[in-house]
Structures are given as structure tokens and as C-alpha cells.
Amino acid sequence: MEVIASVNKLRLKFPGAESLLFKDFSLSIRKGEKVLIVGSSGSGKSTLLQVLTGLIPSSVEVPMKVENIKIPLSWGFVFQDPESQFCMPYVDEEIAFVLENLQIPHDQMPSYISYYLKQVGLSFDDMHTKTQILSGGMKQRLAIAAVLALESDVLFLDEPTAMLDPEGTEEVWNTIKEVGEDKTLVIVEHKINHVVDFVDRVIILSDNGEIVADGSKQEVFEQYKHVLIDQGIWYPDAWKDYLLANGKPRPQSTGWDSNSAITLTDFTGFRGKNKKIEIKNVDVFPGEWITVLGKNGAGKSTLLHAMMDLIKTKGVYTIFGQDAKKINKLSDYAAFVFQNPEFQFVTNSVYDEVAFTLRLEKWNLDKVSNKVEELLEFYFLKNHEHSHPYQLSMGQKRRLSVAAATVKGQPILLLDEPTFGQDAKNTFAILEQIEYLRSQGTIVIMVTHDLNIVEHFSTRVWVIDQGELTIDCSSSEYTKGMHKVVG
């Protein structure tokens, strides 16, 4: 079959990097193929897509050399971050932007716009809707619609669902499946559960930019499973294999103080003047791992914000018998880990980041350095202590954020989707570290969408629906109910 995109002997190096990212790299993609490219973060997957589309070097200036390159005549590119690929504030204007670029006459635009929106299954009463109010899944589908408007035969998808919840992820992959049927697809992804059904060729890249495996998906998944595990790819059986390899029992929260550590009674949290979360009455005990589940916008993060006193609250909230409102520094009792780790970094090096809170507390120097060394060791960050936090990989940033937040050994740990966007290896590493803290008696309250965590790590489940706590039960009860519903 006809080759639609190819590179031959590609050499590419990022300025400042020590070695070449690609050295004599060759790849060709034939018309109609559905190709999945996997590899650990930093293996150059996204860079490869940008080279194959000519975005490197024309839009992103990176020094590269290539003997032969074939760029598809017409291609479309869907990026990872739904927020930063739009340039217009309204749905219709975003697609119109593409149509303008292609010089489609003004009077034909509205019908084109509704046509493309329909293709990705989006319908609005008024196409002139703000993109800001769309969910992540809808935003990515809009991005796909804009790409379809280019009328291209080849679609390049760079982890289009990395920032979406499970519901949005499914929406987006279903859309891609539908619109991509007669197109060539080149997909980079590390959560491959949804993708495996419809790709026919799988390529694994190694950390130093070489092709480890390239073949039909059956072949690759059978023969190179160890590589997938090693690279932290979310292949369909990742959880099963992890559990088998570790023989992990479900954690038990017994054996701890039976006095409740946190009590919430008629506890409400407000954003502005609106009541966004209400908890009638709960007690939380040391050594519990509570996963907070619920749809997007149900109020899960708001609950954590309320418990951290970041927003206005009313009602009874006691921590170890003290009224939380009278505690001068709540951060002495509770640690908080944000969804985006970058937002909580306040210093310029990994070491300073961990030491930051201790220095604020005026610990003496020896004690600070001992504690910091210990934590850096525990979170595998020892080799990076002098790096700037922003220079770390996704997984390292996440571990640093947990290390820095928990440095004072607070008895309560609040986490907002800590495994979000993490590869399998990092996810398991961070879960194990949280589990260690829990086994020492820390209370873990964690917002997540991942039901595997509920089943295998947490001890208790809270389900939030429209700002109210609707289910509060043990994880085993919850998963039992879940299996009943499913099968």
C-alpha cells in the first residue's frame, strides 16, 4: 500500500539536551493504517508526531536533520490539552477559524460548522456557545471537529484523553473510532485500554528513541509485554498483573484508635454565595483511606477545599476534638496535594521545596537536612535534589508534591486526583507510598475516578452527587455492589 508519511534517518536533538533524541530513526506509515505509538514519557513520541506533520521544524524550532521525509498532503492534529488548543472563545468561531484559513466563503460557513459538529456528536441549541462551559470530553470533541474541518485523510492524535476523566475519555475515543474509520490514524497514548480495539499496528519506542517493537497488535502485546510493564504503559491488564506480581491484600483500617479523628456535622462549603457541598454527619478514623467518587462538577474537589478551609464553610468541623475554625494553621494538621503539582511549588529546587515548610517552622538545620534526605530517598528523588521542580518528569513532579506536602507528617492527607495523567509505573509507586503513610495511621482522603484504587487500596468510599454525600460505605461493600450492577 501507498506510504503516506515517512521519515528516513531522522536525527534530532533538543537544545540543551545531552544526547540526540533520535539517531538515524526511520519509520513509514501506509495509507489507511491505524497506528498506536507507545513509550515512556520522554521517549519522544510527541516529538515524532510533530516531525511527521512538519510542525517541527516549521512551527517549533528544533534542530533536526533527515535524509528523506514525506509529510502527508493534508493532516490534522489533536493535542493533549483541551484548554490550550483553541484560539477563539466560542464553539462556532473555533471551527470558523479553520474554515477561514481554508478560505471557505463566508455564507457557507454556518452549514459547514453544524455539519462538523454533528460528526463528532455535539449539538447545541445555539452554536454560539462559550467553549469555557464545555466539559473536557466535549472540548476534545470540538477540537476533533475543528481538525475534521481541515478535510484531512491523516489524523495525528497526541494523548488526546490524557487530561480527561473516564467518561470524557470514552466519549472521545468513541468519536475517534467513528470519524477515523476511513482515515489514517497515528495515535500516541499511554492509556491504551480504549485504543486497542481499533488500532492494527503497534509501535513501542524505547527511552533512547529507538523502535523496540513494531508489528500487529497481537504480536506486540504477546511478545513485548515485559517492555510495556517496564515502561509503565497502561495496557489492558496492567492492574491485574500488578496485583498478581505483588499479591497485595486489601488494606485493613482496624487496629487504630477508635476515637474519631475528624467529625463533620451539617458541614457546608460555599463558593461565593452558593452552597456547593453539604455533609450531614461523618466521622473519620485514623488509618482510613477514603476515596471520594462522583461525576465532574459534583463537588469532590470542593469538599477537599472546604476541609482545608480554602473556601467559606459553616457547620461543625472538628479535628482531634478541636474546632477546626479555631486552629490557627490548619496546614499543621492536614496536608493537601493538588491535581496539578506545578501549582504548589514555591521554590527553585527540589531540595528547597521539601525543606520549605520546615524552614518556615524554624527547624534547626541538621534536623531539616536529615528529614529532607530521608524523604528524597523515599520518593526516589535523591538524584534530582538540585533540579528546578519544573524540570522534573510528570511522575517526579507528582512525587515531589506529595513529599513536600507531607513533610511535617500531618495526620491528615487530602489528595485531589494524584494519579491523574500518570503512567502505570508512577501510579503504582505513588499509591504504595500513600499506602505506607496510611499504614502508619495517616488519614487519606483522595478524590479519584479510578475504581481500581477503590477496590485495591482504599478502605472506605464516599460518593458525592450534586453537592451531597449520597453513599458512605466500606470499599468492599461498594465494590460488591458495583459488580452486581455490572454483571
Binding region for other proteins (CB under 8 A): 50, 53, 55, 58-60, 76-77, 79, 81, 83-90, 92-93, 96-106, 109, 132, 146-147, 150, 305, 308, 310, 329, 331-332, 335-336, 338, 340, 342-346, 356-357, 360-361, 390, 404-405
| Counts of helices then strands in the chain (DSSP H, E) | 16, 20
Enumerate residues 6+ apart whose C-beta is below 8 A from 302: 269, 271, 276, 277, 311, 467
* Cβ 310 to other proteins shortest distance, Å: 5
Contact in structure between 162 and 11 (CB atoms under 8 Å): no
Nearer to other proteins, 148 or 429 (CB): 148
Nearer to other proteins, 251 or 269 (CB): 269
Helix (H) or strand (E) holding 96: helix 91-101
* Cβ 329 to other proteins shortest distance, Å: 6
Nearer to other proteins, 103 or 123 (CB): 103
Length of the chain: 487
Nearer to other proteins, 6 or 50 (CB): 50
Q: Which three cell numbers stand for residue 27?
A: 519509520
**First vs last C-alpha separation in the chain:** 43
Nearer to other proteins, 256 or 356 (CB): 356
* Cβ 361 to other proteins shortest distance, Å: 8
Cβ neighbour number for residue 249 with a 10 Å cutoff = 8
Phi/psi of residue 416, nearest 5 degrees: -105, 100
> Could you give the angle at the alpha carbon of 309 between the alpha carbons of 307 and 312, nearest 5°?
110
Residue found under cell 492527607:
413
Nearer to other proteins, 19 or 328 (CB): 328
* Cβ 239 to other proteins shortest distance, Å: 31
Contact in structure between 141 and 122 (CB atoms under 8 Å): yes
* Cβ 158 to other proteins shortest distance, Å: 10
Nearer to other proteins, 161 or 357 (CB): 357
* Cβ 24 to other proteins shortest distance, Å: 26
Q: Shortest CA distance to 244 belongs to which of 41, 483, 30, 428?
A: 428
* Cβ 415 to other proteins shortest distance, Å: 12
Instruction: Give, as one character, the DSSP assignment of residue 363.
Output: -
Q: Which three cell numbers stand for residue 116?
A: 462538523
* Cβ 198 to other proteins shortest distance, Å: 23
Nearer to other proteins, 4 or 463 (CB): 4
Cβ neighbour number for residue 274 with a 10 Å cutoff = 8
Q: Which three cell numbers stand for residue 284?
A: 473519620
* Cβ 298 to other proteins shortest distance, Å: 18
d(CA 356, CA 122): 47
Q: Which three cell numbers stand for residue 96?
A: 470558523
Nearer to other proteins, 116 or 239 (CB): 116
Q: Which three cell numbers stand for residue 64?
A: 533536526
Contact in structure between 201 and 170 (CB atoms under 8 Å): no
